[in-house]
Structure 1
Amino acid sequence: HYSRLQAKELGEKFVNHGEVVLVDLAMRYGEPSTQQALEALQKQGMERLLLLPLYPQYSATTSASSFDEVFRVLGTWRNQPELRLVKHYHDNPAYISALRDQVLSAWDKDGRPDFAKGDRLVMSFHGLPKRNLMKGDPYHCECLKTGRLLGESLGLEPGQYLVTFQSRFGKAEWLKPYTAPTIEQLGKEGCQRVDIFCPGFPADCLETLEEIAMEAREIFLEHGGKDYRYIPCLNSNPKWMDALYEIAQAHLSGWSLGQESEEELAQRDRRAELAKSKIA
Structure 2
Amino acid sequence: MFTDKAAVCPVHASADHPKIPPAKIGVLLANLGTPDGYDYWNMRRYLNEFLSDKRVVDYSAWIWQPLLQGIILTKRPFSSGAAYKSIWNEDAGESPLLTITKAQTAKMRELITETHGDRVMVDFCMRYGNPSTRSKVREMIQAGCQKILFFPLYPQYAGATSATACDQFFRVLMKEKWQPSIRTVPPYFEHTAYIDALAKSVERAYGLVDQKPDVLVASYHGVPQRYLMEGDPYHCQCQKTSRLLKERLGWGDEDIVTTFQSRFGPEEWLKPYTVEEVARQAEKGRKRIAVIAPAFSADCIETLEEINEEIRESFEEAGGEHFTYIPCLNDDDLHMRALTQVVSENLQGWV
Alignment TM-score, normalising by the size of structure 2 = 0.70
Query: Partner residue of 1:105?
Result: 204
- Once residues 25 and 111 of structure 1 are traced to their aligned partners in structure 2, the CA distance between those partners, rounded to angstroms, is 39
Q: 1:112, CA displacement in angstroms?
A: 5.5
Query: Partner residue of 2:298?
Result: 203
2:111 counterpart of 1:13: yes
Helix, strand or coil for the counterpart of 2:145? coil
Q: Output one character per residue of 1:140-172: Cα deviation in whole Å (capped at 9) or x when no partner.
A: 000000011011111110111000000002110
2:181 counterpart of 1:82: yes
2:140 counterpart of 1:36: no
2:230 counterpart of 1:135: yes
- Once residues 331 and 104 of structure 2 are traced to their aligned partners in structure 1, the CA distance between those partners, rounded to angstroms, is 6
Counterpart pick for 1:146 among 218, 225, 241:
241
- Once residues 143 and 244 of structure 1 are traced to their aligned partners in structure 2, the CA distance between those partners, rounded to angstroms, is 18
Q: Which runs of 5+ in 1 are unaligned?
A: 257-280
Alignment TM-score, normalising by the size of structure 1 = 0.88
Query: Partner residue of 2:256?
Result: 161
Taking the TM superposition and a 5 Å limit, the aligned residue runs for 1:1-280 are 1-19=99-117, 20-111=119-210, 113=212, 119-256=214-351
Q: 1:40, CA displacement in angstroms?
A: 1.1
Give % identity: 44
Q: Output one character per residue of 1:219-271: Cα deviation in whole Å (capped at 9) or x when no partner.
A: 11111111111111101111100101100000000012xxxxxxxxxxxxxxx
- Once residues 50 and 112 of structure 1 are traced to their aligned partners in structure 2, the CA distance between those partners, rounded to angstroms, is 44
- Once residues 142 and 105 of structure 1 are traced to their aligned partners in structure 2, the CA distance between those partners, rounded to angstroms, is 24
Counterparts in 2 of 1:236 and 1:166: CA distance versus 1, 3 Å: same
- Once residues 111 and 190 of structure 1 are traced to their aligned partners in structure 2, the CA distance between those partners, rounded to angstroms, is 18
1:10 alignment partner AA: M
1:15 alignment partner AA: T
> Higher relative CO (CA 8 A, sep ≥ 6), structure 1 or 2?
1
**Count of paired positions:** 252
2:281 alignment partner AA: L
Structure 1 residues 15-24 or 165-174, which shifts more?
A: 15-24
More strand by share: 2
Q: CA RMSD in A?
A: 1.0
Structure 1 residues 131-140 or 212-221, which shifts more?
A: 212-221
